Structure 1
Amino acid sequence: MGGVTALTTFLLMVIVFGLLGLVLFWAFGIDRRAVPDYTGDDFGLLTEVSAVPTPEAADVLARRLRAARIKVTVVRRGGLHRLMVFPADAPDAKLLLRAEHS
């Protein structure tokens, strides 16, 4: 009789842990996010609006964008200083930077 109880307990534990495993796999098992960017070229939500060769030029352009209340981040990558903004601000930022060059 003791063997039946041990077998029943074992089977119950297998079922409980199996169900727990299925629930955890359902919740966390399949990572649907994009593959991480290990090259350093992906800046998440930010979009590049300009790239200049010197930090001074990047600082001047960043100040112009900030004066227009556009949040900007300057990133140095590949020998260039890139001005990055949120996609919603990209058209205004490009227009402002283009108007400054005209």
Structure 2
Amino acid sequence: MTALTTFLLLVIVFGLLALVLFWAFGIDRRAVPDYTGDDFGLLTEVTAVPTSEAAVVLADRLRTARIKVTVVRRGGLHRLMVFPADAPDAKLLLRDPG
């Protein structure tokens, strides 16, 4: 084998390896993670209160109604987060003073 043949064989092997790796891993099309802390995925904010005590009371009210709730502290407020399907019921329940 000559040096030219060896060189061409290496170029072909590395070219095929590059194609296989590109096919396997390709361009990453996943969503870019949010490092600001403002993205809560599927959760939607239904209300925000200034104290943790108020957040606990409202979260207990939602949990009693079998609505899953998460309390997040952000920017000095306690935000109550629920799934979008539960948001209308949660807002209606939290609007009721009783």
- TM-score higher than 0.5 here? yes
What is the CA-CA distance between 1:88 and the residue it aligns to? 1.4
What is the CA-CA distance between 1:13 and the residue it aligns to? 5.0
Query: Counterparts of 1:13-92 in structure 2 under 5 Å?
Result: 14-92=11-89
Larger helix fraction of residues: 1
Any stretches of 5+ residues in structure 2 without a counterpart? none
Instruction: Tell me the matched-pair count.
Output: 98
Q: Does 1:101 align with 2:84?
A: no
RMSD of aligned residue pairs (Cα, Å): 2.2
| Paired AA for residue 38 in structure 1 | Y
Identity of aligned residues (%): 87
Any stretches of 5+ residues in structure 1 without a counterpart? none
TM-score, normalization: structure 1?
0.77
What is the CA-CA distance between 1:10 and the residue it aligns to? 5.5
Distance (whole Å) between structure 1 residues aligned to residue 68 and residue 6 of structure 2 = 61
Compared with structure 1, are the counterparts of its residues 8 and 95 closer, same or farther at alpha carbon in structure 2 (3 Å cutoff)?
farther
Deviation per residue, 1:8-54 (Å, 9 max, x gap): 56645543443343343234322223332121111111111110000
Compared with structure 1, are the counterparts of its residues 29 and 62 closer, same or farther at alpha carbon in structure 2 (3 Å cutoff)?
same
Compared with structure 1, are the counterparts of its residues 87 and 20 closer, same or farther at alpha carbon in structure 2 (3 Å cutoff)?
farther
| Paired AA for residue 50 in structure 2 | P
TM-score, normalization: structure 2?
0.80
| Paired AA for residue 93 in structure 2 | L
| Paired AA for residue 73 in structure 1 | T
Deviation per residue, 1:45-101 (Å, 9 max, x gap): 111111000000000010011111111110000000000111111111111111x23
| Paired AA for residue 39 in structure 1 | T
